[in-house]
């Protein structure tokens, strides 16, 4: 059986940290952040400074990794914010069409904890997401439903 873990939550909510504990030999990690972080590190700048320049390249890399994983039937961890039904629809549909069982994992810490994590990450890595962006994501967040194609929905804090 082919499995996909579909991560949902705002930046800094713990999605990537949680995914990093999974065995890289067992799961293909689908994300745009890794590409941008790697380019930023090579060039000695922050994630924020690289985001606009590299997001298209990151999306192309993610798409290639996804296509390869789907073609090979490898298990997938899809690590993006995926905060609205609209943002999830095509992604989950692709997984379902390829015969995957898709489990949602929701990361939604309380506002204070999220703010603390954002601050710590910005200090440690230079990856600072503007608060207005976070606020907009939270305002537009839609809880995932099994009707979207999820076999299960697990909540993390």
pTM above 0.75, yes or no: yes
Q: What is the pLDDT of residue 106?
A: 98
- 120 close to 13: Cβ distance less than 8 angstroms: no
What is the residue-level pLDDT of the chain in tens, covering all 157 positions? 899 999 999 999 999 999 999 987 889 999 999 899 899 999 998 888 899 999 999 999 999 999 999 999 999 999 999 999 999 999 999 999 999 999 999 999 988 888 888 888 888 777 888 888 889 999 999 999 999 999 999 999 7
CA 156 to chain centre: 14
- How many angstroms separate the Cα of 9 from the Cα of each of 41, 61, 64, 107? 25, 22, 23, 5
Which domains, and CATH codes, for the chain? 2-30+75-156 (3.40.50.300)
Please name the residue ranges forming H helices in the chain.
Answer: 15-20, 33-43, 47-72, 85-97, 111-125, 131-140
């Amino acid at each position: 059986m082919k499995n996909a873990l579909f991560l949902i939550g705002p930046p800094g909510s713990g999605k990537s940290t949680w995914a990093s504990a999974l065995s890289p030999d067992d799961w293909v990690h689908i994300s745009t952040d890794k590409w941008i972080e790697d380019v930023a590190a090579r060039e000695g700048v922050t994630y924020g400074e690289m985001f606009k320049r590299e997001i298209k390249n990151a999306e192309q890399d993610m798409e290639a990794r996804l296509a390869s994983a789907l073609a090979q039937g490898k298990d997938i961890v899809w690590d993006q914010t995926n905060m609205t039904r609209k943002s999830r629809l095509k992604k989950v549909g692709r997984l379902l069409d390829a015969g995957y069982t898709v489990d949602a994992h929701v990361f939604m810490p309380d506002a204070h904890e999220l703010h603390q994590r954002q601050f710590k990450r910005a200090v440690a890595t230079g990856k600072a997401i503007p608060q207005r962006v976070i606020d907009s994501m939270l305002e537009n967040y839609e809880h995932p439903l099994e009707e979207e194609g999820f076999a299960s929905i697990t909540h993390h804090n």
